[in-house]
Amino acid sequence: MEDKTLTCRDCGAPFVFSVRDQEFYAQKGFTNEPQRCRDCRQARKAQTGGSAPSSSQGARQSYEAVCAECGVTTTVPFRPRGDRPVYCRSCFTARTPAAAF
């Protein structure tokens, strides 16, 4: 591997995609090269609150629900359908076994 010079899609400036950055991308399983220079990436993160929006609508919508375990009102990132229980973060965490690594 060797350093690559790429062009930022936002400002058009050339930037270096270093060997170290390429190794990081490979380690994380990223298959695409970065499209923005460091300054434009940071500006975009600041605009979007740290992550790119997951849809064309912008921020993810939240829905209110009542926890089936403790009865507290909570918000969830999906529309509750009523045919399955909804849990608050604490009750969900208590019910879900820890992931084994």
Question: What is the model's pLDDT at position 37?
Answer: 92
Residue 98 pLDDT:
67
> Quick check: 1 and 17 in contact, CB under 8 A?
no
pLDDT tens digit sequence for 4-50: 999 999 999 999 999 999 999 999 999 999 999 999 999 988 887 76
22 membership: H or E segment, kind and range? helix 19-28
pLDDT of residue 68: 93
**Single pTM value for the model:** 0.46
Q: Which residue has the higher pLDDT, 38 or 98?
A: 38
- Residues 37-77: tens digit of each pLDDT: 999 999 988 887 765 555 445 567 888 999 999 999 998 88
